[in-house]
Amino acid sequence: MSTGGGTQNTVQKLPLEGIRVIDFTAVWAGPHVTQWLAVMGAEVIKIESRLRPDMIRAYWNLQSTGHSINSEFAEFNYGKKGCTLNMTQPRAREIVRELVGISDVVTENFGGAVMDRWGLGYAELAAIKPDIIMYAGSGFGRTGPYKEFPAFAGIAEAFAGLCHLNGYPGGDPRPMATFGYADVTSAEHGALAILAALHHREETGEGQYIDLSMTEVVSSLLFQPIMDYTMNGRVQGRQGNRDSVMAPHSCYRCRGDDEWVAIAVSSDEEWRSFCDAMGNPAWTGDERFRDALGRWRNQDELDALIGDWTRNHAHYEVAEMLQRVGVMAGPSLKMEEVIQDRHLRERGFHLDVDQPGLGTWCLAALPWRLSDVPPGNYEHAPELGEHNEYVFGELLSMSAEEIARLEEEQVIY
């Protein structure tokens, strides 16, 4: 791999080198947690089974390639190792216990108390490895009436009140931008909790159990409308691209095909610069727009007039013109523009990686730069069971025969 070639960099170590993670997570929320740990240098061993592959492997057009990899799986699982174990088999659970004995973290995000049913609950694991850190991610938490309930991001977002706030003024509540907004945000919260637990273990040698609820993650991200409600009993509505204070503050149509630019003006000074940048058309002299309150009260007219101006320019052009005079602005980027954006490119956010089955493609790195460590571990995402040899042979030092037998018995399967 090119810029992302973390693991080739032998001079320095990655922050989590030496930490091993046994990873039962699937779909988005879980794998994104362990992906963070992997990129930071932890050895993440993703456990799947042919009987129970990560459902996003199997998602669309699996058949198109001989590989069990698609873009989504790759995006959420790079940097990890993969092995297969058929957990319905008692022996498989034995093997997992052995793995746990030489690991630091165990992660899962099943729809229910699956780990307990397998006899792999925190109590059992702590008995094997007292300082183990166990992460359990779920939609509603591992306690309470819904602890056994499957959930997806959209459900948590709807329940916590995010969908209600997302949408156009006067329109319906809408599902949040990316499928799995709650997934990715929970994933980062989860990774943070794990790092905190690891830090505590460094200090005290104590492990612990982490119980993350997606619904609560979303709720904590909605503190502002929540506190407006708990303080004032007010239920905020959908603001679209508008702000409760700033005006102009919206997304304006530009010249190109479905091209838009976002502009926000937060002070009288910025307003003056903005008018200058537009060449002070007569309407900017309008009394109603002279002060901040006036602009806010008359933003419908204001937005229309600004739209007339932006319509004659490219979105990048407007953004750069305004940023140069200190006005907050940015083009509303399409996916392809994000990939090509010269700024992101120059910062090396996109990494070109070889992914068997996908060829060389450009993945989205994790959004961090540390000044003095390698960029991170961006090894390609594992095929189903790609690292069985390493896991069972090297880590658990099983003989080739034993491994072969277990494969036959569909334990390693």
Site for other proteins in 148-167 (CB under 8 A): 149-152, 154-167
Q: Which one from 183, 291, 303, 341 is the annotated catalytic residue?
A: 183
Total number of residues that touch other proteins (CB under 8 A): 162
Q: Which two tokens stand for residue 121?
A: 């609950």
For other proteins, the closer CB: 118 or 252:
252
Rounded Cα distance, 73 and 384, in Å = 11
Contact between 396 and other proteins per CB under 8 A: no
Residue 371 burial (CB < 10 Å; 0-12/13-18/19+)? exposed
For other proteins, the closer CB: 314 or 396:
314
Site for other proteins in 104-123 (CB under 8 A): 122
Q: How far is the CB of 227 from other proteins (least distance, A)?
A: 4
Q: How far is the CB of 216 from other proteins (least distance, A)?
A: 5
For other proteins, the closer CB: 18 or 281:
18
Contact between 170 and other proteins per CB under 8 A: no
Site for other proteins in 81-100 (CB under 8 A): none
Q: How far is the CB of 184 from other proteins (least distance, A)?
A: 5
Q: How far is the CB of 146 from other proteins (least distance, A)?
A: 6
Window contacting other proteins (CB under 8 A); options: 96-104, 214-222, 278-286, 400-408? 214-222
Active-site residue flag, 183:
yes
For other proteins, the closer CB: 233 or 401:
233
Site for other proteins in 236-255 (CB under 8 A): 236, 238-241, 243-246, 249-253
Contact between 268 and other proteins per CB under 8 A: yes
Neighbouring CB atoms inside 10 A of 347's CB total 12
Buried residues in 388-406 as b, exposed as e (16+ CB within 10 A): beebbeebeebeeeebeeb
Contact between 190 and other proteins per CB under 8 A: yes
Q: How far is the CB of 388 from other proteins (least distance, A)?
A: 26
Q: How far is the CB of 379 from other proteins (least distance, A)?
A: 16
Q: Which residue has the tokens 């003056």?
A: 272
Q: Is the CB of residue 74 less than 8 Å from the CB of residue 358?
A: yes
Neighbouring CB atoms inside 10 A of 379's CB total 21
For other proteins, the closer CB: 279 or 342:
342
Applying CB under 8 A, which of residues 24, 110, 118, 140 lies at the interface with other proteins?
Answer: 140
Strand partners of residue 361: 353
Q: Is the CB of residue 352 less than 8 Å from the CB of residue 3?
A: yes
Site for other proteins in 319-378 (CB under 8 A): 319, 323, 326, 328-339, 342-344, 346-347, 349, 358, 361-373
Provide long-range contacts, Cβ within 8 A and 24+ apart, for 266-270. 266/328, 267/292, 268/292, 269/326, 270/326, 270/327, 270/328
Q: How far is the CB of 301 from other proteins (least distance, A)?
A: 17
Task: Tell me the chain's radius of gyration from C-alpha atoms.
Answer: 25
Q: Which residue has the tokens 């002060």?
A: 291
Per-residue string for binding with other proteins, 46-75, x by CB under 8 A?
Answer: ---------x-----x--------xxx-xx
Residue 349's contacts (CB-CB under 8 Å, 6 or more residues apart) are: 364, 365, 367
For other proteins, the closer CB: 136 or 384:
136
For other proteins, the closer CB: 18 or 90:
18
One DSSP character per residue, 148-200 reads T----HHHHHHHHTHHHHSS-TTS-----SSTTHHHHHHHHHHHHHHHHHHHH
Site for other proteins in 4-23 (CB under 8 A): 13-17
Applying CB under 8 A, which of residues 44, 96, 212, 391 lies at the interface with other proteins?
Answer: 212
Contact between 40 and other proteins per CB under 8 A: yes
Q: How far is the CB of 400 from other proteins (least distance, A)?
A: 35
Applying CB under 8 A, which of residues 8, 203, 279, 397 lies at the interface with other proteins?
Answer: 203
Residue 244's contacts (CB-CB under 8 Å, 6 or more residues apart) are: none
Q: Report the run of H or E that residue 350 belongs to, with start and end.
A: strand 350-355
Angle at 186 between CA 183 and CA 190, to 5 degrees: 130
For the annotated catalytic residues, the residue numbers are 183
